[in-house]
Amino acid sequence: MIYAFDGKRPEISKKAYVNDHAIILGDVRIEDDVYVGPGAILRADYGRLEIGQGTAVEEGVLIHVYPEAVCRIGERVTLGHGAIVHASRIGDLAVIGMGAVVSIDSTIGEKTIVAEGAVVRMKQTIPPGVVVAGNPAKVIRKLTPKDEERWLDGKQHYIDLTKKYLRLGLQRVDRV
């Protein structure tokens, strides 16, 4: 469901897929080839949310922008199932693992992987090109070429899936 609030209306590219069971509220901008899965909540009632081209917002992701702020999620970012995002910026090609928490006013660098279940604390800055894990999130190693190859492939799968959803649509099936 898509909602305007307080004079702010979501801007969603016609080349983006937003599932009918996602909630998009307020000052949200979604670019081309973005996938927003069922149960995702993108709430920009206080600030502005920008989601870059080719990003996957998987099922159950919660994104909320704190008052008077802008949350910029870069291009070809993967936000894993059930992640909670309150960041100010997530760099291009980053991966936020399933169930991870990226807290208020934090920053994630380009090509950085935040492991499943990790907790990036308020105002924490994670540099580009690393893998972080734990609570609080700490750098455990540098990104490898194998990591990049794996995640580029996964990101392309979501871009292709977005195009397929838009082309074929969903057909509701009632139980017999």
* pLDDT tens-digit series, residues 110-165: 999 999 999 999 999 999 999 999 999 999 999 999 999 999 888 999 999 999 99
Residue 62 lies in a domain: yes
Cβ pair 74, 95 in contact under 8 A: no
The verdict on residue 173 lying in a domain is: no
* 27 part of a folded domain: yes
Report the run of H or E that residue 79 belongs to, with start and end.
strand 78-79
How many structural domains are present in the chain? 1
Q: Is the pLDDT of residue 176 over 80?
A: no
Query: Residues 136, 142, 148, CA angle at the centre, nearest 5°?
Result: 110
* pLDDT band of 175, cuts 50, 70, 90: confident
pTM, two decimals, is 0.95
Amino acid at 124: Q
Domain span holding position 44: 2-168
174 in a domain, yes or no?
no
In this predicted model, what pLDDT tens digit does every residue of 120-134 receive, in sequence order?
999 999 999 999 999
CB 132 within 8 A of CB 126: yes
Answer yes or no: is 176 within a domain: no
In a domain, 90, yes or no: yes
- Which of 46, 47, 10, 45 is closest to 31 using CA atoms? 10
Does residue 134 belong to any structural domain of this protein?
A: yes
